[in-house]
Amino acid sequence: SPRVFSGIQPTGNLHLGNYLGAIRKFVELQASHDCIFCVVDLHALTAQLVQDDLVSQTRQIAAAFIASGIDPEKHIVFNQSRVPGHAELAWIFNCVARIGWMNRMTQFKDKAGRDRENASLGLLAYPSLMAADILLYRGTHVPVGDDQKQHLELARDIAAKFNNDFSGRIEALELGVPMRMGEEDVNGYFPLTEPLIEGPATRVMSLKDGSKKMSKSDPSDLSRINLTDDADTIARKIRKAKTDPLPLPGDVEGLAGRPEADNLVGIYAALKGVTKAEAIRDQGGRQFSEFKPALAELAVEVLGPVTAEMRRIMGDPAEIDRVLARGGERANEIAGTTMRDVKRIVGLLDD
C-alpha cells in the first residue's frame, strides 16, 4: 500500500523553499496517505560533525511540522537517530551501492567543493542513508524539492540492485511482492520509490540571484525568507529582491528568460495555491512596485500563523520531545520488521 516518507535536516533556519517545496506538500498528503515525517539528524552530521545546537534545531523542525498542520497522532513524526534501523540499513546499502554512483551526485560535488578528498565519507554516502530512510519503511512516495531528484533516482537504483542481487533469496523466503521493474514483472522486496515533485515552487530560487536555489547556507540572509522572520522582515526582503526592469508579462510564456520574475510569480502562486498561469492572470502586466507589496502581504498572511504557532510549540520543548519519542517508537516497530527481513535476505545470523 502507498506510504509517504520524507525528511528535513536540522541544519539551520527553515526557509520558504523548504516550506513550499516540502512541508506544505507533507501537509496536503496527509489526507490521502499514511505518512512518516522525519527530522534527519544523522544527515546533519555529514556537513558539520560538531554542532552545539543540534537538539534545538531538531525540535525546531518538529515544531515547524506540527505548526504547519502535520498531525503527529495520525501520522508518524520522529527524529532519525532514535531508530537504529536507519544506520543499519544504510550500511547494507553502502555495500549494495557503487562508489561511482555516489561520485556522480551533484549535491556531493557542490558540498564537497574543490577539496573532495577531504570531505567526510558520510557526505559521500549521504544518498545511501537517504535511501535507507525511505526504504526502511518501504516508502513508495517521497515529496521533495527538485534538488533531491537525483538522490531519489539513486534510491531506486539501490532498491532495484538489492531486489535483483537477492532475487533468489527473496523468492525462497517468500518475502517478495509483485512489482514492475523495467520491462519485467518481478517479486522484489523494496519498492521503486516515486518522487513527488510538483507544483509552482519545486525549486524556489534565491531572492538575490535567480540562478541559485534558496538555501540555508547562503551567507546573505536577504537571499531567503526564514520561517522565523517577522512581517516587516518579510516585506523588506521582498522589496529588496532582485528583479528586471520590465513589468510582469501578460502570460506565463513571458516568464521564460526572466528567472527572478519567474521565481517571484512561482512563490506567489504556491502561497496562493494556484498555478503560475492563474497567478499571471491575476497579476500580469503589473509593475514590480505594485506586485511586490501584494506578494509580501500574501507571504505574511500565509507564514504569519505558522511562525506564531511554531513559537508557541517551541515554548514547551518537553512536549516536542514526547511527540518525537512516541513517533520514534511507532517508527521503530515498522523498521524492526524490515530489518529482520533484510537480515534474513542478506543471510546474517539473527534470532
Residues that constitute the known binding site: 9-11, 17-18, 133, 145-147, 204, 213-217
**Residue 213 sits in the site that holds ligand AQP (CB under 6 A):** yes
Grid cell listed for 15: 526557509
**Residue 58 sits in the site that holds ligand AQP (CB under 6 A):** no
Enclosing H/E stretch for 114:
none
Within 142-181, which residues bind ligand AQP (CB under 6 A)?
A: 144-145, 147-148
| Residues 299, 52: Cα–Cα separation, whole Å | 31
**Minimum separation from the CB atom of position 61 to ligand AQP (A):** 8
| Residues 54, 37: Cα–Cα separation, whole Å | 18
Within 7-26, which residues bind ligand AQP (CB under 6 A)?
A: 8-9, 11, 15, 17-18, 21-22
Catalytic residue at 25? no
Q: Where are the alpha helices (DSSP H) in 143-185?
A: 149-165, 167-172
Residues 6 or more apart whose Cβ sits within 8 Å of residue 297: none
**Residue 204 sits in the site that holds ligand AQP (CB under 6 A):** yes
| Residues 223, 145: Cα–Cα separation, whole Å | 18
Grid cell listed for 283: 497579476
**Residue 216 sits in the site that holds ligand AQP (CB under 6 A):** yes
**Active-site residue, from 149, 161, 208, 216:** 216
**Minimum separation from the CB atom of position 109 to ligand AQP (A):** 13
Q: How many CA atoms lie within 13 A of 215 on its CB side?
A: 13
| Residues 214, 237: Cα–Cα separation, whole Å | 13
Inter-residue contact 331 to 76 (CB < 8 Å): yes
Residues annotated in a binding site for L-tryptophan: 133
Which residue's beta carbon is nearest to the bound ligand AQP? 21
Span interacting with ligand AQP, options 26-34, 160-168, 214-222, 294-302, rule CB under 6 A: 214-222
80 or 338: CB nearest ligand AQP = 80
| Residues 82, 154: Cα–Cα separation, whole Å | 25
Q: How many CA atoms lie within 13 A of 277 on its CB side?
A: 1
67 or 342: CB nearest ligand AQP = 67
148 or 338: CB nearest ligand AQP = 148
Alpha-carbon distance values, 20 to 118, 175, 230, 319 (Å): 34, 38, 18, 26
Residues 6 or more apart whose Cβ sits within 8 Å of residue 50: none
# binding residues, ligand AQP (CB under 6 A) = 20
**Minimum separation from the CB atom of position 216 to ligand AQP (A):** 4
Residues 6 or more apart whose Cβ sits within 8 Å of residue 2: 33, 34, 140, 141
**Residue 214 sits in the site that holds ligand AQP (CB under 6 A):** yes
**Minimum separation from the CB atom of position 22 to ligand AQP (A):** 4
Catalytic residue at 216? yes
| Residues 47, 105: Cα–Cα separation, whole Å | 15
Taking residue 348's Cβ as centre, other Cβ atoms within 10 Å add up to 10
Within 107-146, which residues bind ligand AQP (CB under 6 A)?
A: 144-145
**Minimum separation from the CB atom of position 220 to ligand AQP (A):** 12
**Minimum separation from the CB atom of position 318 to ligand AQP (A):** 25
Residues annotated in a binding site for ATP: 9-11, 17-18, 145-147, 204, 213-217
Please list the active-site residues. 111, 213, 216
- Give the binding site for ligand AQP (CB under 6 A): 8-9, 11, 15, 17-18, 21-22, 144-145, 147-148, 202-204, 213-217
